[in-house]
Structure 1
Amino acid sequence: MRTGRAISGTSGIRIKVAMIMILLTALLLEACRSAPAVQKNYYLIESVDSVSGRDWKLSAALLEVVNVEVSPAYAGHKIAVREESNRIRYYDYHEWAVLPQLAIQDAVIANLSGTGMTAYAPPGFSGVRADFILRTTVSRMEMQDRGKEFYALLAIDFTVIDNRDRSIRIVHRAIREEKLKSKSMNLFADAISRMLAGECAALAQKIETIPDLIPKQ
């Protein structure tokens, strides 16, 4: 009889534990259903009209914009934020809508096309040989958290290669940063787009100074 009571008591405890687990599971499921869904936000790197108001002399230039090289730390969809000198992290719910290498290539082509030159991605036009090859490298593209202040930073290199003899004609390097009014990812993406457009305009001015390839109108 003692053994029977012991077994009965153990069974009762197991039943109570099982009921508690069922109740906790039901409460957890209800909490999950009632909690708002976390929404991801996606941001664009776009061309910006930064070349208007200038009489460009680049209408005869053909520029092939080859694939952009982006440092591996910044090459994915995740947006990087630097919080210490050698430490970055990635936002969980803020991403680039398009891979940076593709978005930057499209923006560079659009920005430089605004100067009057014909900029395009390979393979380009059948039977047409470009005057220049443009190689673009992005080594840093990040938001910087400096305590109560936030900055957008872009480090970019352009190399213009003469397509006749493959010599390097122009090297343009820039490290740009812009203070943001607030910790806004939209402001950050806008700042990156504008800084990229500004460097494209600076590059176009350098290309314009190559007299043997760019006939003045």
Structure 2
Amino acid sequence: MRVFLIILALFFGGCTTIKPSVAQYSIALDDLKINSSALGFKEKSLKISKAFASSSLSSHRMEYMESDHRVFAYSQSQWQEAPSVMIESTLLKSIREAGLFESVHPSKSRIKSDFILETNIERFMQFFSEDMKESHVEVVLNLSLIDAKTNTLFKSRTFISKSTTKSPDAEGGAEAFKSALSEIMMQNIEWLDGVCR
């Protein structure tokens, strides 16, 4: 009986597979150290609305596109948070640090703000060359500053950034996304600075 149990245990033990751990990536930006001299909206508040994005950008999947325009997902890599959530929090942090507004609030805040910043994520993708040896990322964000009292568009602008990856893989893509998003955040602050004057 013991021999039978040992053989049974070895049989089922041999059938089990060890699932490899999934690497998680984030695009949290370093401190941008932005100081603005604009005075126009120092007494106004801003709310960052929930980003408009495709369903794939609202998930943790890390996707990439091959040269024939087919989209795939990395099997052993994923985002720590959905890209739409990371972009929202990055906008909030960078605008708050810039000091352009008296206060900056997240979308879930119950505080009524003077302005709302709407974000439409038009592109957030890693692209590979035909031979799969090189890749780059592209980020396209359309930002709209809305007067919350009248629900009318105050200003709007589209930001585009591309960044070449250091390595054609998920880790290289994450680093390139961080670089591209950092550039857009700086451009956004400059734009808002000009709008506030």
TM interval, shorter chain, is: 0.7 to 0.9
User: What SS does the aligned partner of 1:90 have?
Assistant: strand
Distance of aligned partners of 1:61 and 1:209 in 2 relative to their CA distance in 1, 3 Å threshold = farther
Distance, in Å, in 2 between the alignment partners of 1:55 and 1:208 is: 7
Of 64, 81, 98 in structure 2, the residue corresponding to residue 98 of structure 1 is 81
- The 5 A counterparts of 1:23-102 are 26=11, 29-30=13-14, 37-52=19-34, 54-57=35-38, 59-102=42-85
Aligned to 1:164: 149
5+ residue gaps in structure 2? 1-6
Distance, in Å, in 1 between the alignment partners of 2:20 and 2:36 is: 49
Distance, in Å, in 1 between the alignment partners of 2:122 and 2:150 is: 27
> What TM-score does the superposition give when structure 2 sets the normalisation length?
0.79
Q: CA deviation at 1:51?
A: 4.4
User: What SS does the aligned partner of 2:194 have?
Assistant: coil
RMSD: 2.7
Counterpart contact for 2:61–2:79, Cα < 8 Å: yes
Question: Identity over the aligned pairs, expressed in percent?
Answer: 18
5+ residue gaps in structure 1? 1-21
How many pairs align?
184
Q: Moved runs in structure 1, 4+ residues, more than 4 A?
A: none
Deviations 1:12-48 (A, max 9, x none): xxxxxxxxxx99x94x953x56x76411011112133
Distance, in Å, in 1 between the alignment partners of 2:43 and 2:82 is: 31
- The reply to whether residue 192 of structure 1 matches residue 177 of structure 2 is yes
